[in-house]
Amino acid sequence: MIELEGLTKIYADGTAALNGVSLTLDQGMFGLLGPNGAGKTTFLSILVLALEPSAGRRVYDGLDAARPGLRGEIRKRIGYLPQDYKPIPYLTGEEYLLHCARLRGMGGMVGGALRGRVKELIEGVGLAAAARRAAGTYSGGMQRRLGIAQAILHSPRLLVVDEPTAGLDPEERIRFRSLVSEVAENTAVLLSTHIVEDVEATCPRLAVIGRGRLLFDGSPTELLRQSAGRLWRIPSSPGAPGAPGGGPLPPGALEVSYRADRQGDVERVVWSADPVPPGPDALPREVGLEEAYAAFLSREAARQGAPGPVLLEGAGA
Amino acid sequence: MRLTAAFVSHEWRTQWRSLRFRAFAALYLAAGVAPAVLIHILAPRSGYTFGEATYAMETTTVLPLLTAVFALLLSLDGITREQSDGAWTTVTLCQVSSAGYLLRRWIAILAVILPLTAIPLLAAAAITAMDGVTGLTVETWLAPWLFQVLPVAVTVSAFALGAGTIGGGPLASLPLIAAVLALVPALAGEALHRFRLVIDPPLQGLRLQFVTYAIARAVKAARGDRSWGFGYPMPGSEGGIDLRRMAVQQLVAAAPLAILAAAALGLAVLYLRRTRPDVRPRPIRSDHPFRSFILTWNRLRERYKPDPAPALADRAALVAGLLAASLLAGLLVSRAYGYEALAAVRYAVETGGSSVPRIDPMSAQVVPGLWRVRGEIGPGSRVSFEVSGEMINRGPRPAGHLAFLLDPSLELAAAADSGTVTATRTWDRLALELAPPIPAGGRRELRFRLSGEPARTVFPEGRPGIFARPTFKGGYEQHRDAEFSRDRINFARSFRERSISGRKVDLSRGALVPVPAYAWPREDDETAESISPQAKVELSLSGPAGVFLADSCGGIAVPDGAGARPAGTRLESSCATSLSDLSVVGGRQRLLDERSANEGGAVAAFPAHRRLAGLHLGFLERSADMLKAAWPGIGMSSGRLVVVEWPTDGDAAYWRYHSPGQSFVTVRGNLVFLQESELIWLGEIRPERMVAEILAVRLANRRRVDPGQSLFFQQLFRNVALERLGLGPENGAMVGPVPPSQYETIRASALRQEPWSPYWDSRFPSLISALKSRMGEEPLRAAVEELLARGDDPGAGAGTAAELFALFEKHSPEPVGRMIQEYFLDGKLPYPVLADVRFRRSGDTWRVTGRMVNEGQGEALCKVVLTTDLGPESTVARADGGQAAGFELATRHRPQGVFLDPGHECHRLVESGGARDRVYFEGESR
């Protein structure tokens, strides 16, 4: 079990990136959502010991990271696929994994056993055909898969993957999601992403970070429940009062998002505090995790006085 | 170990697949092999014969710098490439400690660099063999790599890896490296100055000045420029290598960078940035006037704060790095203070300082009798000698104080056959106080047991003056009284030049026996010590196997290289020689021809120069005849002459220029040292000149002379010998033409002891030529012979110039008194010229009149010759300084011209410029 308590990070220039985040991670997939600049990467860096927190406690299977002598043991338990991961381009996939395996020590595994493990992983991530090719020539998806292979080489207790599907085509995304899910059968996997669909598809539990704080920690159903019966769509036209979506909303209602079509028609998605339509034109909207997440962020933004709606992915022109 | 191997194989694989690395490596190898290729091209034009040492030396001149650049780039690339890769986080999560990672990275980089550094030398060796040089030795190629290239690769890669890690990227690392290399020595220099210490620049080991010089030489040679100065290549010595000396010198030179490297690598374990530290926040107001500056400062704080929570191994590595740096620094400081203390002793001894016991030279009346030396040379650089020496008191009073020169590195036990001996030593001086003293006319046998590793302590030179060459005394005083760091001497660079090393065996001047000291040698006047009475010497020494040995009695020990265990060599000889000349020398040399060695003369040269020596020194047998002809009775009767090729030390020794007053050989007893640089020069070695030098030394050894006139006698013997062999000055007795700027220096007394004066080159040879013309060759020889023969009388004192001049007058058929007074003693130099020359015809007779005007000083006594269609007419004109003498000549034949001293027998000055000592006939005068 990984216990994180009150993690706080204030950078040298005074920027507070994390503010008292506490989480507990165990077996299975765990999604980490948050808008850009929310502190996800800072959180992950602290989690994988790449960054020292200003305050807080990290305990990995009972090993406290505050004790320098235990960090080696803790590192053994972590696998990490960073967002900007690139394998060493001159090495083939197989050579690269072998190098990583040797660096990792792999519990004294040598020679044939080490090669066997590497081969097994290469096949596992679907790179057997490209194993002898220089990793620099791999596509983005192949590189990510190789990245997963290097991260789980040593069978870590915790696998942290940061934005693993960004920039991948849909097929590659689906393949990657299943790969990570397979890993999660025996490992705690923290999947950090801003693609809600990935979390929806794989994670039984998720957390939302915003402005350095942990805003939500629970299951996707819980997040959905918070918006169930409170989301409405209101057809509108651009430029109408109450921009960007149109006219004014009744008290307690929040504009979550809007969709624009090619004709310029706009559909506003609105969250209302009470389960009553926020206007005469309002129609109930089916709640998906993406909308629930967006509604959650809007509520949090409104609570903190920040601007509102987001243009949802895939919408509009 | 497995992990280290993984690092190494990873580094190799990654580098070999990198185009950048292949480009670097190709450039490195091309530049590294370039010297050997240049030698291959340019050597035929250079005028020298080159052996493998030259190829190795020129290659290792550039290799340290190339290796440093290569190692720097590769190490920076190695550390920053992986850190900037997206895979770095993978590395940071490995269980290996930061120290373990850095150490293995360093080893891996070295594993890539080191094999490459050997390739230029291997290629150069192949080119050497291709150029026809045979018998290549491993040592010649391995030693420079080991002591000049390897330390550079190790220290530069460690330093670059450390600094690159701390810097965190090439852009930050390069300025950091430049700043450390420039600032640390500057700051340390000022701090150390207070403690009488000075630090060498960290890049000293790269020998940058030699590289730029090599490039300049190569460019010069490639252009075909044969002007003054070295061309390309510069000859390297085939004499072998003193490995220990080379190691000490090179490692001391590499030490400053090694200190920085150890510290940088140690500190780098805290800067691997596996975990970025938390720094105290320093918020900035958005309207703060220094917002940008503070932002940058904050970024730097985050970037350069050490990694938090270092592991135990990292802390240990940090301590080990700093400890290694401190130990190295301590070692340098201890060397510096140790040698400074030795220098202080030497200084005090040589300047009569009160901090050391004063030892006075001994009376010249106490002379050595029979001296026996037995013992062993070796093992290694050690010696073990039993010396028994008889000292005879020829004075009228008892003598209880004896003084000797003795190598300070040798341990001594002294005793006498009767009475007690109290020994006092300071530096190289040894005093023996005998109780009771040796009575007048009595003798005492002394027994010495000498053991240890004889060596000469070489201190770095001080800064040279504008005109003065640096002396030990001047350098030490400059260091002692230094106001600024630049005036300090880095005594850590001192070293011991062992008398027995892989380069040579040179047991002489106190390294073999205590040498009686009648005056202490002076650094600024090498000619001051001249009392060296002869002793009867018997040598019986065993030497190490495989080493050629020769002694100054003419004894030779030929190494027996045959068999699995070659036997040691043995020297057995006896002769009469001065103890200051008694030497045992040798090394790699081998005899050219053992048969000729049995016939009174031997030549020993380095194996690489065997053929060359045969070509140049084949005249040796003839030399014996020439000696007999030049000075009857002084030929080979005093033993076998051994010509030994002697390794040229230091680059400066390859300046082959010798002024006429200098010899190109050195003679000690029957040993003749011919510098290697003389032998490999493709020009002819003139046997007469060599014989003249040998003759001069042998003459000088026959009688001690007044120390205050030693230079005069040294030059006299040399010039008399040269005259005897027909090698007198080209212009005979005529001095010049000389430029007016030299007039003052050549108008000087011959008894002035100024060894570097142009007098000895420009005037003295002409003076001896004039004397020979005036006295005749045999009377001159007879006068010198009589002076020297008086030395056979034990009661004879030191020879003096006055005694010699009296003998000149005695033996000369012509009066020479005035000549001696004016030319030798007063330094006067006449300058006669012709004036008012008239050609008049009276009947069938031509009358030629004129004047010889002496515009100089002293008597001009010169022949005036009138040449005609049918033979010359001559007369002698005599004119004092500032005076004129008329002359008249008559002939019945048509005149051609009047010439003053056409045979160059009259001692006179000739000015540069127009000739005023001849008038050509151009028709009857009006």
Mean pLDDT of the residues in chain B:
87
C-alpha span between B239 and B234 (Å, rounded): 15
Judged against a pLDDT cut of 90, whether residue A37 lies above it is answered with no
State both tokens at A77.
């338990």
Q: Chain A interface residues facing chain B, Cβ-Cβ under 8 Å?
A: 9-14, 45, 48-54, 66, 68-69, 71-72, 75-76, 78-80, 82, 84-88, 90-91, 95-96, 99-100, 102-105, 110, 134, 150-151
Read off the pLDDT of residues A97-114 as tens digits, 9 standing for 90 and up: 988 888 887 766 777 888
User: How is residue B22 written in tokens?
Assistant: 């292949």
Whether the CB of B85 is below 8 Å from some CB of chain A: the reply is yes
CA separation for the pair A8, A20 (Å, rounded): 5
Are B277 and A52 in contact (CB < 8 Å)? yes
How far away is chain B from the Cα of A69, in angstroms, using its nearest Cα?
A: 6
Report the pLDDT value the prediction gives residue A201, as an integer from 0 to 100.
84
The answer to whether the Cβ–Cβ distance between B278 and A104 falls below 8 Å is no
Chain B residue with the nearest C-alpha to that of A68: B309
Q: Name the token pair of B254.
A: 């590499």
Closest by CA to B97, choosing from B239, B272, B247, is B272
What whole-number distance in Å separates Cα of residue A281 and Cα of residue B241? 101
* Calculated CA dihedral for residues B732, B734, B736, B742, nearest 10 degrees: 120
Decide if pLDDT at B470 tops 50. yes
pLDDT score of A226: 82
In B, which residues are within 8 Å of A75 by CB distance?
Answer: 93-95
Contact yes or no for A85 and B86 at CB 8 A: yes
Whole-angstrom distance, CA of residue B278 vs CA of residue A18 = 13
For residue A315, what pLDDT band results from cuts at 50, 70 and 90? Answer: very low
What one-letter code names the amino acid at B587? G
- Count of C-beta atoms within a 10 Å radius of residue B748: 17
Q: What is the pLDDT of residue B657?
A: 54
Q: What is the pLDDT of residues B802-850, one digit of tens each?
A: 999 999 999 999 999 999 999 999 999 999 999 999 999 988 899 999 9
Strands, E, within B756-810: which ranges? none
What percent of chain B stands above pLDDT 70?
Answer: 92
Q: Quickly list DSSP for B207-240.
A: -HHHHHHHHHHHHHHHTT--SSS--SSPPPP-S-
Q: What is the pLDDT of residue B158?
A: 95
Q: Where are the beta strands (DSSP E) in A100-212?
A: 158-162, 188-192, 205-210
B249-285 pLDDT, tens digit per residue, is: 999 999 999 999 999 999 999 998 888 888 888 777 8
A75/B3 touch (CB, cutoff 8 Å), yes or no: no
**Virtual torsion, Cα B515, B516, B519, B521, nearest 10 deg:** 0
A311 has a pLDDT exceeding 50: no
Q: Which residue is closest to B81 within chain A, CA to CA?
A: A88
pLDDT of residue B46: 78
ipTM for the whole complex: 0.82
In three-state secondary structure terms, B190 is helix
User: Which residues, at least 6 apart from B382, have a Cβ–Cβ distance to it below 8 Å?
Assistant: B451, B452, B453, B500
Amino acid in position B290? F
Q: How far is CA A95 from the centre of its chain?
A: 29
- Contact by Cβ (8 Å): B755, B803: no
B247-261, B564-578, B669-683, range with the lowest pLDDT? B564-578
pLDDT-derived band at B26 (thresholds 50, 70, 90) equals very high
Which residues of chain B lie closer than 8 angstroms to A79, CB-CB? 93
pLDDT of residue B692: 81
- For residues B551-574, average pLDDT: 76
CB neighbours (10 Å) of residue B812? 20
pLDDT, position B517: 92
Residue-level length of chain A:
317
Q: Which of A52, A72, A102 sits opposite B275 (nearest CB)?
A: A52
Do you find a cis peptide bond into A244, omega within 30 degrees of 0?
yes
Encoded tokens for B235:
């000859």
DSSP for B585-650 reads EEES-EES-HHHHHTTEEEEE-GGGHHHHHHHHTTHHHHHHHHHHHSTT-SGGG--EEEEEEPPPT
In this complex, do B281 and A11 lie within 8 Å of one another by their Cβ atoms? yes
What is the per-residue pLDDT across B182-217, written as a single tens digit (0 to 9) for each? 888 888 888 888 899 988 888 888 888 889 989 998
Q: B862 pLDDT band (50/70/90 cuts)?
A: very high
Q: Give the separation between CA B280 and CA A279, rounded to whole angstroms.
A: 51
Average pLDDT value for residue range B529-550 = 85
The continuous run of DSSP H or E covering A30 comes out as: strand A28-33
Cα→Cα distances A186→A156, A199, B368, B767, Å: 9, 18, 98, 108
Determine the pLDDT at residue B368. Answer: 93
| H/E element, B543 | strand B534-543
E-only strand ranges, A244-316: 253-260, 266-272, 283-284, 310-311
* Mean pLDDT of the B458-472 span: 77
Residue B107 tokens, joined: 């080893």
Q: Which candidate, B579, B582, B590, places its Cα nearest to that of B553? A: B582
Count other C-beta atoms under 10 Å from residue B174's C-beta.
16
Mean pLDDT for A117-143 is: 89
Q: Which two tokens stand for residue A9?
A: 């990070």
Chain A hits for B94, CB-CB cut-off 8 Å, are 75, 103-105
- Sheet holding B590-591: strands in order across? B590-591, B601-605, B641-646, B671-675, B665-668
Give the residue, A240 or A124, on which the prediction is more confident. A124
Q: Using CA atoms, how far apart are residues B331 and B554, in angstroms rounded to an integer?
A: 44
Q: Give the gap in angstroms from C-alpha A203 to the nearest C-alpha of chain B.
A: 24
Average pLDDT over residues A241-255: 64
pLDDT at residue A309, as a whole number = 47
Question: What does DSSP assign to residue A84?
Answer: T
Q: How far is B4 from chain A (nearest CA, A)?
A: 10
Judge whether residue B468 has pLDDT over 70.
no
Q: Would you call B310 an interface residue with chain A, using a CB distance cutoff of 8 Å?
A: yes
Q: Which pLDDT does position A313 carry in this prediction?
A: 36
**Whole-number Cα distances in Å, B193 to A89, B185, B459, B482:** 51, 11, 18, 9
> pLDDT tens digit string along B104-162?
999 999 999 999 999 999 999 999 999 988 889 999 999 999 999 999 999 999 999 99
Model pLDDT, residue B631: 84
Residue B921 tokens, joined: 């006939």
Give the minimum alpha-carbon distance from B68 to chain A in angstroms, rounded to a whole number.
Answer: 25
- Helix then strand then coil, in percent of chain A rounded to 5, is 35, 25, 40
**pLDDT at residue B685 is higher than 70:** yes
Q: Which token pair is B375?
A: 């013992």
Q: Which residue of B has its CA nearest to A9?
A: B278
Contact B225, B118 (CB under 8 A): no
Place of tokens 């009160």: B354
Query: Could you say which DSSP state residue B659 is in?
Result: -
pLDDT > 50? residue B563:
no
Asked if A54's CB is within 8 angstroms of B278's CB, the reply is yes
pLDDT tens digits along B625-661: 777 778 887 654 567 788 899 988 655 445 555 555 5
- Edge-to-edge strand list for the sheet holding A55-60: A16-25, A2-10, A55-60, A63-64
Minimum-distance CB partner of A87 among B87, B92, B282: B87
Distance CA B857, CA B880 (A): 7
What's the pLDDT at A314? 34
By percentage, how much of chain B surpasses pLDDT 90?
49
Mean pLDDT of A189-210: 88
- State chain B's maximal CA–CA distance in angstroms: 124
Distances B51 to B39, B230, B608, B675 between C-alpha atoms, Å: 11, 17, 7, 15
Instruction: Return the closest-CA partner of residue B49 out of B107, B170, B132, B117.
Output: B132
Of B90, B274, B300, which to mutate for an interface test with A (greatest number of A Cβ within 10 Å)?
B90
Q: Does B309 touch chain A (CB under 8 A)?
A: yes
Interface test with B, best of A71, A154, A155, A162 (most B CBs within 10 A): A71
Selection from B750, B753, B754 nearest residue B764 by Cα: B750
Whether B4 contacts chain A with CB within 8 A: no
CB contact under 8 A, A88 and B14: yes
Count the Cβ atoms, other than its own, within 10 Å of residue B410: 26
A35 within 8 A of A297, measured Cβ to Cβ: yes
Digit-coded pLDDT (tens) for B73-114? 999 888 777 777 666 777 788 878 889 989 999 999 999 999
So what's the pLDDT on residue A296?
Answer: 85
User: Quick check: B600 pLDDT over 70?
Assistant: no
Q: Do A53 and B278 touch (CB under 8 A)?
A: yes
B486-500 mean pLDDT: 92
Q: With an 8 Å Cβ cutoff, are A13 and B295 in contact?
A: yes
State whether B86 and A82 contact (CB < 8 Å).
yes
Question: Of residues B658 and B28, which shows the higher confidence score?
Answer: B28
CB pair distance less than 8 Å for B87 and A86: yes
pTM, to two decimals: 0.82
Q: What is the SS3 assignment for A304?
A: coil
**pLDDT higher at B373 or A256:** B373
Kindly calculate the radius of gyration of chain A based on its CA atoms and give it in whole angstroms.
22
* Count, residues in chain B: 926
Peptide bond into B379 cis (omega under 30): yes
Question: Taking CA atoms, what residue in A is nearest to B17?
Answer: A90
Q: Specify the pLDDT at position B465.
A: 65
Q: Read off the DSSP letter of residue B276.
A: B
Comparing CA positions, the residue from B670, B482, B475 lying closest to residue B571 is B670
Bridge partners (DSSP) of residue A3 are A24, A59
**How do A28-33 and A188-192 pair as beta strands?**
parallel
